[in-house]
Amino acid sequence: MTPSIARLPGTAPLYAALWMMGAVTAFTSMAVAGRAVSIELDTFEIMSWRSLIGMAIVALVLSLGRRWHEVTPRRPGLHLARNIAHFSAQNLWFYALAALPLAQVFAFEFTAPLWVLVLSPLILGERLTRPRAIAAILGFIGIVMVARPGAAPLSPALLAAAGCAVGFAFTYMLTRRLTAEAPVASILWWMTASQTVLGFACAGFDGDIAAPSQAALPWIGVIAAAGLGAHFCIANALRLAPATLVMPFDFLRLPVIAVVGLVLYGEPVGPLMLIGATLILSGNYLNIRAEARQLEAA
């Protein structure tokens, strides 16, 4: 029998890299689509329609794969806490996208793993090691350079960008706990279902839920498909290669979105932004390497 291409010697890293390029493309597409629809929809409405389409996609995949048996009601409190954290972070992310340069929003988003380092001793009971502390310090210095406090008024959009990183950090930590007890299919179903309910409840609080226009509807579809597709690509990449090889490819999102912001919206990228982003990404990379060495030594 001919072995699959992904199993041939030396091909797994290449295919992992291709999957990560897919993830970078998906995240970038979601950012551009999010800015496009923010002109006519607020963040709650974007999340409502995005989650509804996402729920339909997940339902279709579960039905075609006959995997509904994997969707269980176990740990509803943990599911709810994770999905509220993710819902809040995504709303803040979409809000920041409409007002800040795309590269600045992505730089803040990349601080989420560093917030995990700081918060995991409190939430997960994990130890704050020396490499993790160094990574967190580098990330904090990078945040200061990206945010440039004092250079401009502290705006709600800047606070939203910083807040979304904290929200994503809580999402990562709660997901880590949840994956030990629930299948991925169950996590995705309850995520899209609960966020659909949360989205429409928040969007309808003022008694007015705007439906996407014919022009905006394709962008909503891009947001929904890209959000699910990005995580699918990352999961496949991690199946083919270790995290130390896979996750640094995710850092390409920052220069890619900087180029997209420059070309599509004329957003300049200053030296402080570049230096701060480099420090944030370096902190993430140092932590990945330290975790890999720890696993190898175990």
pTM recorded for the entire structure: 0.83
Q: Can you say how many angstroms the Cα of residue 273 is from the centroid of all Cα atoms in its chain?
A: 20
pLDDT value, residue 152: 57
pLDDT band for 9, please (50, 70, 90 cuts): very low
30 pLDDT higher than 60: yes
More confident residue, 240 or 105: 105
Question: Could you give the percent of the chain with pLDDT greater than 90?
Answer: 37
283 pLDDT higher than 60: yes
Mean pLDDT of the chain: 84
When pLDDT is averaged across residues 64-90 and rounded to a whole number, the result is 91
296 pLDDT higher than 80: no
Judge contact between 51 and 196, C-beta under 8 A: yes
The region of weakest confidence among 108-112, 169-173, 246-250 is: 246-250
162 pLDDT higher than 80: yes
Please identify which residue in the block is written with the tokens 């966020």: 195
